[in-house]
Amino acid sequence: MSHYYIPIAGTTGWQRPSEWLDLPVNTDENKKVFYGLFLVFEDEFNALRISVRGTPTVDWGDGTSPFTYSAAITKIYDYDSITGAVNQYYDGRNYKQVIVSIDNFNSNGFDIAATDSTNNINTNSSLNFADIYVSYGMMTSNSNFTINNSRTLPYLEIFKFENATRTGALRLNNASILQIVEFNNVDLVRVLNLVNTKINQPFDFPPIAASNNANQNLIIDSIDSYVMPNVEASDGIFRDIKCRKINSFTAGSVGSSFQGRNFVRNAYYLEEIGLIDSPFTSYDNGFNGCSMLRSLEWVDFSMVTNVNNMFSNTGNLRKLITPGCTVGIDISDNSMTADALDAWFTSLGTATGAQIITITDNPGTATCDTTIATGKGYTVVV
């Protein structure tokens, strides 16, 4: 497996290792199924615990008989007893493969790698899935679907989730080398947790309802679009994310008081966000610490009332467009030219009461046309 996640010569991008067993193919969108390619390493403790609601059929994939699930159970794989080829991981370790399948779970919850509170063995170890496919069977459920929580996913390179009208929280944390992430025929995911995860290829986020620090420390080069049709809760949507560019962000009706608070706080590598289209009223500390951020533009900023520390510790902001803005904003110590400041002033709405615009220590502070802003009722501090 020498190619790991480095592109193979003569190809473009990552290729699924040829020695991996193929997962079964599901053609029925109403089928509820989990398929996972699990790597069993030589001379290692290879444990898998599941907690599933309902009475699905479980097959560990090691030649033992499938069984009807009735309670949370831990499987410890025996490397020597598994038939099939011996493969070599990129670091030289030997491994064999099994296909884990869980058929016909119900809508009340699903937890792979649940903490083994009975045995307390290796509860924070790695989980050896390399390829995962899930069909949710077009269920509508607020129950959580957890691939892992405290356990890490250092081998997972493919994750595909399909066929859901609505899910609860979908947790896929601590995955360090994801290559392919796909959501197909998914109407809504309440929360998609990608905390401490690295994704080496672009992917399209499914529609999401809530996002409280759900992408914290996510590493990804760029995000094409992020859509929240009906915002149930949002705080720190992209806080601490390691991402160069977010092409667009869209939110629909809002039911959370947090909204844009800590929106991309401390996203140190973020250079640009495309058009922001959301009805958020608060961006408290929204861009605090985004030291490489250069460009921001909203469709409509008129509903925003809380901009406390919105642009603290930035410094590289070169473009800001806030149509209909009615509140004062501090963008001191940034990189706005006179033309950029004038364009920002032009986008402002009429100030609501006494509002202060602070533009101290920008390159264009001394030469911009502050009368554009003062004519709309703002006091401009230079």
CB–CB of 220/198 below 8 Å? yes
Query: Quick check: 116 pLDDT over 70?
Result: no
Predicted pLDDT of residue 122: 59
Can you tell me the distance from the alpha carbon of 220 to that of 213, in angstroms, rounded to the nearest whole number? 16
Predicted pLDDT of residue 9: 44
CB–CB of 56/103 below 8 Å? yes
pLDDT in tens, 264-298: 999 999 999 999 999 999 999 999 999 999 999 99
Task: Tell me the whole-structure pTM to 2 decimals.
Answer: 0.90
- List the domain boundaries for the chain: 1-9+30-206, 208-317, 332-382
- State the DSSP string of 112-142: ET---TTT--STTSB--EEEEEEEEEEEE--
Predicted pLDDT of residue 110: 74
17-25: long-range pairs with CB below 8 Å, 24+: 19/85, 19/87, 20/97, 20/130, 20/131, 21/97, 21/99, 23/99, 23/131, 23/133, 24/99, 24/101
pLDDT in tens, 32-77: 999 999 999 999 989 888 888 888 999 999 999 999 988 888 899 9
